[in-house]
Structure 1
Amino acid sequence: MPASSLLVSVHGPGDATALWAEAKVTDLLDGAPDGITVPSYGSPAWLALPAGHPLRSAAVVTAAEAWRRRELEAQRLDALAETDPEAWFREMTAEADRHAARLGPRLAAVPTVAELARHRRPCVPRRVAAAPGWPVRVPGRPDTWRHYIDGRQVDLPACTAPRARRAAA
């Protein structure tokens, strides 16, 4: 990460720990070229640095400060959940609310199941009918074919063919 964005000041005016961490990272990076990238703590790039390298120390301080801020935020949210559950819920669901507000107009344009059902026209099922010389499979009855024999529709197993067809073959 770029050195300029390592420790963004999100602390309050009296947060001595954050001020110390910022000052420490600034001192460690003093004299480093502009645009230097501090490797993440424990990454392969961090492990490749010599033990006393200032970038290695800056990464440790940055990681420790990030963890401290994460813990402070967790403690703040826990306290808020204890003292004001409704405010905690509003804060926890704020991003989802914003996302839902963005999706709302698109979702409103999608018809509901009830609206689709009102517009649906019933479909009258057609009877499966064979034509002379053209047998058809019977839906829902595997291995059954409907044949047209002597002017009648006759259902036969797939392995049974009418004698007239066998004789023609």
Structure 2
Amino acid sequence: MSDDRVQLWADAKILYLAGVFPKYGSPAWIELPPDDPKRLAAALDAAEMWRKYGDEEALLAWFREASRSRPPLAERRTKAELDAAARPKPAHQLQATPGWPPIAVPGQPGRYLTYTEARRAA
């Protein structure tokens, strides 16, 4: 009920002040003289829209995202493909490289891999 009263007051005030006015912040609104009632009517209209719907740009972005086309189901990956992609991969094998410092071995404090010619030949 209180929302209805707020909406009625805002609509009445907007009509009393201006009737027709440019969108708040638009170039036409900026060109209005500072004391023009259309400026206040546009600001009041924008405030009322914010109160009712929130951020207009965020709302429009949500509508764009919700209405964008999605790839057809036939072109999407199958459950088997998704399961295969989710399987654990083998651990990376550490290898020391010439010219680089020794590598600390994870989980083994104090152990380092260093590059040697013998390791390269193996």
With the length of structure 2 as denominator, give the TM-score of the two structures.
0.41
TM-score, structure 1 length as denominator?
0.31
